[in-house]
Amino acid sequence: MVQGILILVFMLFIMGLMVTRKMPTVIALFVLTVGICLIGGVPAVGVDADGNAIGFLQGVIQAGSLKLGDAIMVSVFAGWLGMVMEKTRISETMIKKGAELGGDKTLIVTLLLFIVSALLFTTVNGLGTVIMIGTIVIPILVSVGADKFTATAVMLFAYCVGNNVNLSNVNAMSAVMGGGFDDAYRIQVVGAVAAFISGMVFFIGRYRKTGRKYAFSALAEAPEEDVYQLKGVMGGLALVTPIVPLILVLGFKFPLIPAFLVSILCACLFTSLKAGWKRTMNMLTKALFDGFSSTAPSVTLMIGIGMLLNAINMPSVKAALEPFMRVVTPSNTIAFIVFFIVLAPLCLYRGPLNLWGMGAGVAALMVGLNVLPLNVVMGGFLSVSSMQLLCCPTNTHNVWVCSFTGEEVTSVTKRLLPYIWPVVIAGVIATVVLYM
């Protein structure tokens, strides 16, 4: 009992450091892992009667860092595809085509850029991609009369919708939970559709309330020789690249990494006629290296989460925390619905319902109790992840977008919460219908 209390106090202390930004999440996960092992009485080195390693150096640090290896590699290849789409101007061209369709009509341009950006985020990920898309989308929105808050919301809603069904993201979250990809994807599709509807309602309501605040012409770009001018049939085929992985994985049951490789090949094939072989090979190599760099933050998070999951599942730690978890874990349908809907904001600030923070450990404990089926627990955590994607002030994409538009990040969180809570409710209800 004492060990359990000390572990919980330590977890709250580390959470406090993350909330106050005294310690980055990546470092906090490593510190939390070692602290839990030490408090839980897990030896640094040891073997059981069968000769299996039970010390935390081998069983937690070493094995934990490799636990999400499959998800890490999927993220790397997804990052490579994202960089290829950026360097070949596929992403930029899609955004500008969307803006051209809307002309100078503020609402139409807003909705089109929301849809196009969300589509891009189903394939690409990472702060670098957010910056690339944001530096194109936000000035266009402002130039047609959208206010700063609307421009901010377009980026955040698009990221939320796209990431809910982003193959790499779904694969990583299902790996953290120990569930199946298809089971996780069903819940994430519900979240994406609900977030899309909520976003459309928000933008239409916002336009009726504010109208066109101001408008000015965007700065004209200096003409330059660009080998990646996506025109004609080949250019049109190149713009299909973002949905190629979805078609291959969902329609033809391709494994994730081969699907990303085929998409990379398509992007190169449809853009290389003018670029030439040598330039395309150079672009492909640089995109690979930049893709590694863009996925580094999420990869390090997954390494830390893998260690935390193994630490939580150590027998002595599990035994110490089990009495407390039995008290708070919902045991029936009504309790489950109330728990995840009412406590959804605990996914913010890397809290206990955030799978990219403290929630990884909490989820592992809930699953280990066998009070609820695995898919139900997974569905609950995935449902609240929509709120984290849109509103969490600790997200690097939230911080950058708000900084770029001049909005205050916590103020944006408060103003968008009413629009994302119904999305959480939809996900929780869908989980009950599908898996309970």
Cα dihedral 422, 425, 427, 433 sign: negative
* Phi, psi of 135, deg, nearest 5: -70, -15
Q: What would the mean pLDDT of 20-27 be, rounded to a whole number?
A: 89
Q: Which residue has the higher pLDDT, 225 or 105?
A: 105
Per-residue pLDDT at 376 exceeds 80:
yes
Based on DSSP, count helices (H) and strands (E) in the chain, helices before strands: 22, 0
Dist CA 247 CA 55 (whole Å): 44
What does pLDDT average to over the chain?
A: 92
Residue 52, classified by CB atoms within 10 Å of its CB into exposed (0-12), middle (13-18) or buried (19+), is exposed
pTM: 0.90
Q: Which residue has the higher pLDDT, 272 or 61?
A: 61
Q: Which of 67-76, 119-128, 301-310 is least confident?
A: 119-128
What is the residue type of 124? V
pLDDT given for residue 37 in this prediction: 96
Per-residue pLDDT at 223 exceeds 50:
no
pLDDT given for residue 19 in this prediction: 82
With contact defined as beta carbons under 8 Å apart, do 179 and 375 qualify? Answer: yes
- How would residue 129 be classed by pLDDT, with cut points 50, 70 and 90? confident
Token digits for 54? Answer: 């039970």
| 158-194: burial string, b at 16+ Cβ within 10 Å, e else | bbbbbbbbbbbbbbbbbbbbebeeebbbbbbbbbbbb
- How would residue 3 be classed by pLDDT, with cut points 50, 70 and 90? very high
- What tens digit of pLDDT does each residue of 144-175 get? 999 999 999 999 999 999 999 999 999 999 99
Q: Which helix (H) or strand (E) holds 156?
A: helix 148-164
Helix 409-435 to helix 333-342 angle, to the nearest 10 degrees? 170
Q: Which of 23-27, 270-274, 290-294, 323-327 is least confident?
A: 270-274
Q: Where are the domains of the chain?
A: 2-435
Per-residue pLDDT at 420 exceeds 60:
yes
Token digits for 324? Answer: 């407390």
Helix 25-39 to helix 277-312 angle, to the nearest 10 degrees? 30
Per-residue pLDDT at 201 exceeds 60:
yes
What are the CA-CA distances from residue 367 to residues 363, 378, 379 (Å)? 6, 9, 12
DSSP letter, residue 103: T
pLDDT given for residue 212 in this prediction: 64
Dist CA 384 CA 90 (whole Å): 32
Q: What would the mean pLDDT of 385-396 be, rounded to a whole number?
A: 94
pLDDT given for residue 226 in this prediction: 63
Q: What does 239-266 look like in DSSP terms, one character per residue? A: TTGGGHHHIIIIIH---HHHHHHHHHHH
Q: How far apart are the first and last CA of the chain?
A: 32
DSSP letter, residue 37: H
Per-residue pLDDT at 266 exceeds 90:
yes
Dist CA 417 CA 421 (whole Å): 6
